[in-house]
Amino acid sequence: MDRMQVKPDDGSLMAQPDRQVVVTGVAGFIGSHLARELLNLGYRVLGIDYLAGHPQVVIERNLAPNKIDKSFTLVRGDLTEVSLIPWFQGVDTIFHLAACPGVRGSWGKDFARYVSSNILATHLLMDAAIRSGVRRVVVSSSSSIYGGASCGPVTETNLPAPLSPYGVTKLAAEQLALAHARRAGSQMTVVALRYFTVYGPRQREDMLISRLITSALTKKPITILGDGRQRRDFTFVEDAVRANLMAMHADVEAEVINIGTGVTTPVLEVAEIVGDIAGMAVPLKFGQRQAGDVRDTHADVSLARAKIGYLPTVDLRSGLKVQFEWARANKLADRPT
Ligand SMILES: NC(=O)c1ccc[n+]([C@@H]2O[C@H](COP(=O)([O-])OP(=O)(O)OC[C@H]3O[C@@H](n4cnc5c(N)ncnc54)[C@H](O)[C@@H]3O)[C@@H](O)[C@H]2O)c1
């Protein structure tokens, strides 16, 4: 086993070398970072992914830091097709990140994929987790379940009102997970983390910040969908990963928790900061606001602080610098898409 990296000031992040955990969606953006951090802490990580969510070159790049670790095992399979119970034996915690992400693709006939990967997969996973005696499942939910945040930060008690089919599937998935946890006789506990726009190295290429950085590196204009005044609460991936680790041992039974920063920034300002970092203004064009895009997102993170001890640690400019340098070093802009 690799040497453990123990973070001494935070009890919830102490290394647990005997624990076997599962990360679904391990070939994805957030899942690959979470798996790496769990391995650093001395966990044995079983990663499950159907390896179809990204182009092959991206999958390989995302898996590379974990595949080199002998405590990492990769299972290639669709969660709706694989027999999960054998893989869940002796597992303490499942981090369920696998999903079909993205708002725009969820309209039209592709919705079937969203239903399968987001709803059906979650149902089958939860059922197998209960039958296998898994103690905790940490589920990745989304700010998209709220709709917009025109009246200030949203708390977990706000009425969900998703504006996209994607948001509807994420709401169904988190509520399914909670229903399984509340099932009579269930010993399993669930924390559903509602992430607010996560960014950082390996961010999905369809996401705004990736596209802004690619535009700055290639000098090719990016089309902003809408007037650019829409605001987002941007969460650095390290903070999202820490939230997962904190949710692992928090004293809760069935809970949804916002994971954001509490700071909301207009898209035009993000473009300006990326331009500052790049040393040249990002060339912008403007297009129609798309169906399902919410106007603003803004998280109230008080419950996250109270329930799992989460506080965001990375401000937007610092996080953008890290993602920019990573993209430049990885010559992302040179890669044919
Ligand atoms: N990135 C964000 O800003 C953000 C915001 C809110 C919520 N989320 C949620 O966080 C999670 C991770 O997001 P991400 O940005 O890392 O996405 P991602 O697309 O990079 O990763 C998702 C992974 O899940 C895998 N997958 C999808 N369906 C599967 C299935 N049926 N069986 C097995 N594997 C499957 C894909 O191959 C992919 O590798 C998702 O649940 C997403 O809805 C992300």
Q: What pLDDT is recorded for position 18?
A: 60
Q: What pLDDT is recorded for position 104?
A: 87
CA–CA gap between residue 239 and residue 305 (Å, rounded) = 13
In the chain, % of residues over pLDDT 70 = 92
Q: How confident is the model at residue 151 (pLDDT cuts 50, 70, 90)?
A: confident
Name every protein residue with a CB atom under 6 angstroms from any ligand 1 atom.
Answer: 25, 27-31, 48-54, 78-80, 97-101, 117, 121, 140, 142, 170, 195, 197-198, 204
Max Cα distance, the chain (Å): 60
Q: Residues 148-163, buried b or exposed e (16+ Cβ, 10 A)?
A: bbeeebbebeeebebb
Q: Of 26, 30, 95, which is best to mutate to test ligand 1, by the most ligand atoms within 8 angstroms of its C-beta?
A: 30
Q: How confident is the model at residue 111 (pLDDT cuts 50, 70, 90)?
A: very high
Question: Considering 166, 195, 199, 310, which one is annotated as catalytic?
Answer: 166
Model confidence pLDDT, tens digit, residues 177-201: 999 999 999 999 999 999 999 999 9
Q: What pLDDT is recorded for position 7?
A: 35
CA–CA gap between residue 88 and residue 134 (Å, rounded) = 7
CA–CA gap between residue 148 and residue 93 (Å, rounded) = 32
> Taking residues 87-93, what's their average pLDDT?
96
Q: How confident is the model at residue 13 (pLDDT cuts 50, 70, 90)?
A: low
Q: Read off the tokens for 33.
A: 């970072």
The reply to whether 43 belongs to the active site is: no
Model confidence pLDDT, tens digit, residues 121-135: 999 999 999 999 999
Position in ligand 1 atom list of the atom nearest CA 51: 37
Position in ligand 1 atom list of the atom nearest CA 116: 31
Tokens 């610092």, residue? 318
CA–CA gap between residue 109 and residue 208 (Å, rounded) = 24
Q: Which of 237, 230, 259 is nearest to 247 (CA)?
A: 259
List the domain boundaries for the chain. 17-198+237-260+297-313
Q: Read off the tokens for 260.
A: 């954001």
For 17-198+237-260+297-313, CATH number? 3.40.50.720
Position in ligand 1 atom list of the atom nearest CA 80: 31
Output the CA 22–ligand 1 centroid distance in Å: 15
